[in-house]
Amino acid sequence: MKAKSFFLKVTAMLLLIAGLSMVAHLYGENRLEITRSNEPDWKVLVDGHQVIIVLTLRQSDFVNLEIFDARNEPVRNLYQGVFSRGEHFVVWDGFDDSNHIMGGGVYIVKLKSGQTFSSRKMIILK
């Protein structure tokens, strides 16, 4: 057990020394949790006919938030600009960039914040 604890402590120290923009948390004797310190926290909430994207930034950053269909074709650019540090809400009303209502189906929300890129799938039922 002591070897495992020692390994976790050394791993945490090496990550922090390497400056990998990560935060290492050591919990007890056998659990190490590593998170990227500058990545935004975000979630997609589907509420009836609208989608609410909740985005929390740890620092001010340039954000690009887009909706794509299941074929990876662009549907709507929701936001492109700078968000300040903190929590933000972006609503998609179900329309594309040409102001046509989109049907039900699988959609992908893509987020680019600084050097970070991530995506979430969602299913819209109509």
Ramachandran assignment for 19, one of left (phi > 0), alpha (psi -120 to 50 degrees), beta (any other): left
pLDDT of residue 20: 44
Q: What is the pLDDT of residue 43?
A: 87
CATH no., domain 41-124: 2.60.40.2360
Query: What residue segments make up the domains of the chain, in order of their start?
Result: 2-36, 41-124
pLDDT reported for residue 22 = 45
Contact 8, 30 (CB under 8 A): yes
Residues 90, 55 contacting (CB under 8 angstroms): yes
Residue whose entry in the numeric block shows the structure tokens 């709507």: 76
Digits of tens for pLDDT over the chain (126 positions)?
455 555 555 555 555 454 444 444 445 555 545 555 566 788 888 877 789 999 988 889 999 999 999 999 999 999 999 999 889 999 999 999 999 999 989 999 999 988 889 999 998 887
With a CB cutoff of 8 Å and minimum separation 6, the contacts of 73 are none
